[in-house]
Structures are given as C-alpha cells and as structure tokens.
Amino acid sequence: MRFNFTGMANVALVAAFVSTVVAAPVLAASEFPSKTITIVVSYPPGGFNDRVARMIAEDFGERWDVDVVVDNRPGGGTVVGTDYVAKSDPDGHTIGISPFAFGVNPGLFPTLPYDTKEDLRHAIVLGSAFNVLAAYPDFPVDSVEELIEYAKQNPGEINYASAGNGSSNHLSGEMFKALADVDMVHIPYGGSAPARTDLMAGRVDVMFDNYTNFKELVAAGNLKALGVTLPQESELMPGVPPVSDTVDGYEVATWWGVYAPAETPDAVIAKLNGALNDFLGKQETLDVFANQGITAIGGTPEEAEAYVETQMETWIPIAEQAEMEVD
C-alpha cells in the first residue's frame, strides 16, 4: 500500500491511520467474544476429542453468555478440520481441538493444505494420556524384555495391531521397533475397537492402545499388560512397568490442545488461555480427566507452543523414516 501525503492535514491522517492499525488487535481482544464461537473437532461425534470440545463449549457459553457450537469435521486424518481452522478469520471465534495427529501429520502427508507451524498457533495444551502395550493372554511372553527377545529370535513373525496407518497406536509401535531394534509387522485396522477384538482372539499378537481402552480388558484377564508408555509406573496400572525400563528413551503420550489461526491477536489468545486454564481447574473437568487416565497440563500459550514443537520434533522423523502412509 502506497501513500502520498503532503501538508499538516495529511500528517494528521497518517497518525489516525497508524492509530487505527495499532489499536485493531487491542479492540478485537476487548470485544472478544462478540459472536458465536465455533469449536472444530476433526473426528466424528463420540470419543474424547468430541467430549472435551462439548465440555469447553458449555463452559464458554456460561462464562461469556454467547452461543458456542461444536462443529465435527472428520476426514483426511484430521486434515479437513485443521485446514478449516487455519483458513478461518483469525479473531478467536473459530478454534480447534488438536489431537495427537496434529504434531505428526507433516511427516505423514507429502503436502498439506496449510503450514502447521506458520498458519496455526496454540492457546493451551489441555492434557495428555499414556498408552499400554498389551498382548493376548496366551501369547508366549510376559514382559517387554521377553517380547524383544522373542522378536529377535523370530524376526518378522510378531505382528502388532493399530487403529490405522498414522494413528498413535501405529506410531507407538514404530518407535518401539526403532528403539528396540526389532522387526514386527504392522496390521492396520479401521479403528481401535476391531483391532482390540482381534487382539483378544489372538489373531494379532500385541498392540499399543490408550489406557482407557485396555484397563477393563486387562482387569478381566482378556489381555495382559506388558508395559506403559510413561517414563514411570502409573498408579492407574500398578505393577505394570514402563516400557522405558527395558527400551531406553521410550515414551509416548497422546495429547489434546486448543489451537487457532496464527494471526489471532495475542490478547485474544491470552483471553482464551485464561478461560481454558480456569476450565482445567474445575472439579468436574478433573474428574472426567481422571476417569480417562488423562493428566491435565495447562500453562501459558508459549508453553503450549513449546510442547507442540517437541511433539513434532519427536514424531515427524519417525513417520518419515517408516515411510508411513495414512488411510
């Protein structure tokens, strides 16, 4: 944009123009929210991504007396929903729930319709959960150490199930293969439930899955837990050791955050961050998280960005090395 001003009157016009530009983000923050807030979920209704979005929607509606809608936009390994947020007006009124896939998709897709680092920013990381490595009851190993020994003696004969190519289950298995230096065959399913069914029946050997998906099956003896993906034992699964006790450096956490278009003003992001930290402090939220085996995280937007950056640095190389393709 070019301006050709002369005289004092025009100097005043320049000053007014600059003042308007500088004040715009502040004005946006002071008026936020001024209309319906849309929370985009990149999955169908049901599941924790959808549930936490609806909990936040209820909280925001009560907090700010505005309409809040949850917009489920599944497809493309979460790319459809993420792209919608990236291309939305950067005023804080369209935000998304970021799942584990957010940080790995740049390594799964040759191209994306958005730039994860340049087009999006996080207001907060809500929490994280751990996975469990489990086997069917009659599988001839009872520990991570025995699994590695068996895999080395029988390369390519052990298979592991996942909810699909590029899922957290798949990536958990690929990290295990790389760090333990073993050859196991990946068997992708169209979701976690059918994979667990075949695991219990012994049609596949082992699987990494969320604690909540395995806890009752392990308690009932339908599966046996070999390890957890935390760096320490979890009180939720006492007696089940961390995989990292045997495989140095192994750690996997699924996580959830809230993100917005990159150009969303800092003050609006700060307002969202404050509200979301308050949401995480509510007893109702903590109870739901605890029941799901989720640890609340919270913190500042800067801490959220650093967390997501670490996730990307961890998982993108693993996805690229394994030459993964999404379903």
What pLDDT score does 115 carry? 97
DSSP letter (8 states) at residue 262: T
Task: Give the residue ranges of DSSP H helices in the chain.
Answer: 7-31, 47-64, 79-86, 105-108, 116-119, 144-153, 168-180, 192-201, 211-219, 266-280, 283-291, 301-321
287 CB burial (10 A radius; 0-12, 13-18, 19+): exposed
pLDDT at residue 324, rounded to an integer: 73
Identify whether the C-beta of residue 164 lies closer than 8 Å to the C-beta of residue 173: no
Query: What is the spatial distance between Cα 262 and Cα 91, in angstroms, rounded to a whole number?
Result: 10
Please give the pLDDT value at position 3.
Answer: 31
pLDDT confidence of residue 8: 37
Which of the residues in the chain have pLDDT under 50? Answer: 1-25, 27
State the DSSP code for 242: B
The domain locations on the chain are 34-128+253-321
Alpha carbon 181 to its chain centroid, in Å, reads 27
Three-state secondary-structure class, residue 77: helix
- Distance CA(213)–CA(1), nearest Å, equals 56
Under CATH, to which class is 34-128+253-321 assigned?
alpha beta
What is the spatial distance between Cα 276 and Cα 248, in angstroms, rounded to a whole number?
35
- pLDDT at position 62 is 97
Give CA separation, 73 vs 30, 61, 80, 128, 258, in Å.
30, 21, 6, 22, 15
Residue labelled with tokens 């069914």:
197
Give the model confidence (pLDDT) of 108-158 as tens digits.
898 999 999 999 999 999 999 999 999 999 999 999 999 999 999 999 999
Q: Report helix, strand and coil shares of the chain as percent, to nearest 5.
A: 50, 20, 35
